[in-house]
């Protein structure tokens, strides 16, 4: 767990594409009690929170500014530096989950030291991660997996955790990416772990627990992804899930950013995951499919989920829409 300074002012920079604001959107949707407002530069996208300067946010109770966008390559643009220093001067710490590190920026580091403020880089794995040993651990585990990146694995894991707890089931959301870590206050930045230790990192993320306790683990990447399959496989082997839920966006035909690669058939994706996952948990099973229907109308979404459920003989639901289909998916997970 991390001792993150909350609540947050969400910084959106001058990013114009709403999809790049996924960290801010995730915090807004799943940790609204920790979000004081947003700060956007001219031309930047808004996520419909109160617009506050760092000084105004500090006066309203904010303790940190969070860089809430993902830039191409995870870089922090040089023209943001004066803006970030302004936040430090206003009395805010800075939290970021970029591949570029706040603490690697000399001027920012010097300003933070002078002002007595923290620079917190979320994408920093803990020291001494062991190599995975594949030994069975007590407790129950669910892993969200996907047909692609950035299509709802985190939201599905959060929704299922909330549903489990509402039923009186002891459950914890286990974050494996920067946004999830900021929401949960802890976790493992899987995509920043050296490959040889990634399965061990997944074992650390979901340690032994009581027999009836569920860890609901946020998935990363996709086994069919031409670039990110490695982190997905390590997370699958290390987490040793008893249950998987496959996440899919029906509006996509190709891997995001890789138009030479078609998305896999749902049956194919489930079969591959179960075959590879059986290496460390022979009893692994698929409870159903989480369908990201954000591009569809309510009627279209219900029809698609029902048709897919009939084809797969598994529950299929959009967790954000909820309803009877999602209740069926939750029951199948816990069965």
pLDDT tens figures, 30-60: 999 999 999 999 999 999 999 999 999 999 9
- Rg, C-alpha atoms of the chain: 20
Structure tokens at 65: 């500014």
8 DSSP β-pair partners: 35, 64
Q: Which DSSP symbol is given to 100? A: S
Asked whether residue 142 carries a pLDDT value surpassing 80, the answer given is: yes
Tell me the three-class secondary structure of 57-97, residue by residue.
HHHCCCCEEEECCCCHHHCCCHHHHHHHHHHHHCCCEEEEC
In this chain, the answer to whether the domains covering 8-121 and 140-334 adopt an identical fold is yes
Asked whether residue 71 carries a pLDDT value surpassing 90, the answer given is: no
243 DSSP β-pair partners: 142, 285
Mean pLDDT within 144-156? 95
Mean pLDDT within 126-149? 97
In this prediction, residue 272 carries a pLDDT of 98
Q: Quick one: CA torsion of 274, 277, 283, 284, rounded to 10 degrees?
A: -60
Name 55's Cβ contacts closer than 8 Å, sequence gap at least 6.
90
More confident residue, 173 or 74: 173
Mean pLDDT within 10-30? 91
In this prediction, residue 20 carries a pLDDT of 85
Mean pLDDT within 224-248? 97
Lowest mean pLDDT among 179-193, 195-209, 279-293: 179-193
Task: Yes or no: say if 207 and 197 are a contact pair by the CB < 8 Å rule.
Answer: no
Mean pLDDT within 243-259? 96
- Omega before 7 within 30 of 0, i.e. cis: yes
Asked whether residue 1 carries a pLDDT value surpassing 80, the answer given is: no
| Strand segments (E) across the chain | 8-13, 35-40, 64-67, 93-96, 119-121, 140-146, 171-174, 214-217, 243-248, 254-255, 258-262, 285-291, 316-317
More confident residue, 3 or 115: 115
In this prediction, residue 159 carries a pLDDT of 98
In this prediction, residue 248 carries a pLDDT of 98
Name 72's Cβ contacts closer than 8 Å, sequence gap at least 6.
none
In this prediction, residue 197 carries a pLDDT of 98
% of the chain beyond a pLDDT of 90: 93
Asked whether residue 29 carries a pLDDT value surpassing 80, the answer given is: yes
Could you report how far apart the first and last alpha carbons of the chain are, in Å? 30
Could you give the CA distance from residue 152 to residue 164 in angstroms, rounded to a whole number?
A: 18
Q: Pick one of 3.40.50.1820, 2.30.29.30, 1.10.357.10, 3.40.50.300 as the CATH number of 140-334.
A: 3.40.50.300
Mean pLDDT within 244-261? 96
For residue 143, the SS3 value is strand
Q: How many helices (H) and strands (E) does the chain have?
A: 11, 13
What dotted CATH number matches 8-121?
Answer: 3.40.50.720
Mean pLDDT within 258-284? 97
Structure tokens at 230: 């490695």
Structure tokens at 173: 């959301």
pTM: 0.92
Asked whether residue 19 carries a pLDDT value surpassing 80, the answer given is: no
In this prediction, residue 267 carries a pLDDT of 98
Structure tokens at 207: 């340690």
Distance of CA 105 to the CA centre of its chain: 26
In this prediction, residue 121 carries a pLDDT of 96
Task: Yes or no: say if 285 and 277 are a contact pair by the CB < 8 Å rule.
Answer: no
Could you give the CA distance from residue 13 to residue 11 in angstroms, rounded to a whole number?
A: 6
In this prediction, residue 240 carries a pLDDT of 98
Where do the structural domains in the chain lie, given as residue ranges? 8-121, 140-334
Could you give the CA distance from residue 264 to residue 223 in angstroms, rounded to a whole number?
A: 10
For residue 47, the SS3 value is coil
| pLDDT tens, position by position, 91-107 | 999 999 988 999 999 99
């Amino acid at each position: 767990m991390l001792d993150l300074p909350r609540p947050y002012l969400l910084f959106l920079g001058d990013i114009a594409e709403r999809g790049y604001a996924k960290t801010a959107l995730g915090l807004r949707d799943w940790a609204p009690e920790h979000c004081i407002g947003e700060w956007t530069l001219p031309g930047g996208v808004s996520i419909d929170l109160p617009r506050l300067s760092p000084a105004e946010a500090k006066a309203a109770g904010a303790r940190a500014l969070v860089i809430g966008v993902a830039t191409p390559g995870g870089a922090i643009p040089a023209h943001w530096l004066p803006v970030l220093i302004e936040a430090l001067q206003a009395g805010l710490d800075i939290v970021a989950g970029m591949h570029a590190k706040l603490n690697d920026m000399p001027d920012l580091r010097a300003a933070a030291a002078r002002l007595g403020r923290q620079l917190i880089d979320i994408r920093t794995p803990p020291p001494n991660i062991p190599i995975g040993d594949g030994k069975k651990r007590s407790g129950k585990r669910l892993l969200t997996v996907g047909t692609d990146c950035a299509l709802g694995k985190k939201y599905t894991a959060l929704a299922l955790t909330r549903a489990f707890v509402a039923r009186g089931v002891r459950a914890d959301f286990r974050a494996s990416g920067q946004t999830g870590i900021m929401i949960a206050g802890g976790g493992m930045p899987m995509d920043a772990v050296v490959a040889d230790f990634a399965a061990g990192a997944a074992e650390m993320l979901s340690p032994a627990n009581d027999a009836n306790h569920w860890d609901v683990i946020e998935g990363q990447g996709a086994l069919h992804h031409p670039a990110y399959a490695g982190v997905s496989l390590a997370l699958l082997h290390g987490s040793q899930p008893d249950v998987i839920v496959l996440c899919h966006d029906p509006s996509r035909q190709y891997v995001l950013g890789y138009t030479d690669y078609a998305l896999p058939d749902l049956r194919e994706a489930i079969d591959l995951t179960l075959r590879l996952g059986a290496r460390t948990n022979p009893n692994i099973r698929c409870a159903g499919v989480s369908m990201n229907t954000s591009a569809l109308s309510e009627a279209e979404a219900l029809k698609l989920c029902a048709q897919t459920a009939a084809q797969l003989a598994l529950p299929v639901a959009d967790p954000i829409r909820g309803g009877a289909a999602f209740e069926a998916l939750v029951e199948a997970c816990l069965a």
